[in-house]
Amino acid sequence: MSSNAGCSSSFATDYARHRVPLSPVQRAILAAGAAAISFADPFRGDMIACLAETTGSDALSYCHQKMLATSEGSRILAEKPRISSSTIDFSALKQLPPGTLGRIYYDFLDVNNVSPDSRTAVRFVQDTELAYVMQRYRETHDIYHALLLMPTTMLGEVSVKWIEAVQLRLPMCFSGAIFGAFRLRPRQRKLYVEHYLPWAINTAVGAKFLLSIYFEERWEQPLADFHREANIVPLVPLNT
C-alpha cells in the first residue's frame, strides 16, 4: 500500500530544489512578517507554514531526538517515507475493513475533501534532517485528525493543535492553539474548556510520541488496538 523505497535520497534531492538559504537577519524579518500576516488572517496557510519553519529550529531538534530514541522513529528518519498520492495506494486503503487505521484515514480524507498532496513543501529549514521532520509533521497532520477522531471544525483543529503543541513544542502550534480558541463560538468555547482542552492536554502528555509512529506500516491495524498501544483514550466514540 506504499512505495517508499529510495525516499531517503529522494527527499534530500527534492529538498535541495526547494531550500531557500537565509541569514539570521533575513530569518528574523521573515518570521516577524509571517507572524503578523498569520495573526491577521489565520487562513493564510503559506504564512503559517513560513512561521513554523522560521521559528521552529529548537523544536525540530527536540522532535528529531525523540524520534531517534525509538526503533520505529529511527527507521522513519533513515527511510524518510513520504505521504502523498504517489506513495500511498489510497484505493487499497478504501478496501480495508472499517475501523482500521488506513480505512479511517481514507474516510477522513474523503469526507473532508482534503488531500495529502496539498501540504506545502518545506523551504526555510536549513538542516535537511530537520526539514524532513517538519515535512513529516505536515504530511501526518491529517492522520492525527483521523486517529484522534477529530473533525476539521475549529474546535477539532484547536484540540489537535494543543496535542501537537505539547508533543512537538513547535511555537506555531502553540500560537495556533491559543489564538484559534479565541475564534470559537460561545457554545464551542464551553465544550472546549470543559472537555476538549483537558482531553487534549492529557492525551498529549500520556500518549506515545505521534511523530515516531510509522503509520504506513499500520494501515491494517484496528484503531481500537492502536489506541490501546499508544495510550490514547478518544474523546468521542469510534463508530464502525
pLDDT recorded at residue 222 = 98
| Residue type present at position 62 | Y
The CA distance from 221 to 205, in Å, is: 23
Is 141 annotated in a binding site? The answer is yes
pLDDT recorded at residue 239 = 67
Q: Average pLDDT, stretch 224-235?
A: 97
What single string gives the DSSP state of each residue in 76-98? HHHH----STTTB-HHHHHTSPT
Chain-wide mean pLDDT for the chain? 89
pLDDT in tens, 143-153: 999 999 999 99
Domain ranges of the chain: 7-230
Is 164 annotated in a binding site? The answer is no
Residue 128: strand, helix, or coil:
helix
Is 145 annotated in a binding site? The answer is yes
Is 157 annotated in a binding site? The answer is yes
Highest mean pLDDT among 14-23, 47-56, 122-131, 207-216: 207-216
pLDDT in tens, 71-96: 999 999 999 999 999 999 999 999 99
pLDDT in tens, 163-176: 999 999 999 899 88
> 164 near 144, Cβ under 8 Å?
yes
Say which range, 22-36, 87-101, 196-210, has the weakest mean pLDDT.
Answer: 22-36
3-state secondary structure 139-205: HHHHHHHHHHCCCCCHHHHHHHHHHHHHHHCCHHHHHHHHHHHCCCCHHHHHHHHHHHHHHHHHHHH
